[in-house]
Amino acid sequence: DINCAHCHSDDRHCNYRPMRFAFNESWDEANLGVCVEPQELFDGLNYIVSPNNINRSMLYFRVSTTLAQRRMPLLGRTLVHEEAVALIEDWINSLTTTCD
């Protein structure tokens, strides 16, 4: 909640993005980016979160890269937090939703 919702909430830095990561908004998978098409297109990254497929998930790419223009969070990070990436990978791989 604190790491992502800091920006991905109403009236925050990333309020123009479709994700809402505050705990009280996590009941809706669309708020978490599941099956939501990203606003920026990168080859092979079909959805913000592509269920059971980290290689097609923008979220996974952005938390696992160190490229300054692509990484999340944008500020205060130059290293990959491996434990957080593993947690997100496990979550994405656990999803059974089918994207249309």
Residue 99 in domain: no
Name the percent of the chain lying above pLDDT 70.
Answer: 66
Mean pLDDT of 15-22: 60
Predicted local confidence at residue 20, as pLDDT? 58
Cβ-contact 63, 84 below 8 angstroms: yes
Model-wide pTM > 0.85:
no
pLDDT interval class at 93 (50, 70, 90): very high
Residue 68 in domain: yes
Domain of 66?
Answer: 2-94
Residue 14 in domain: yes
* Number of domains composing the chain: 1
Predicted local confidence at residue 79, as pLDDT? 84
Mean pLDDT of 84-94: 94
Handedness of CA 67, 68, 69, 75 (dihedral sign): positive
Alpha helices in 1-100 (DSSP H): 2-5, 58-64, 82-94
Alpha helices in 54-96 (DSSP H): 58-64, 82-94
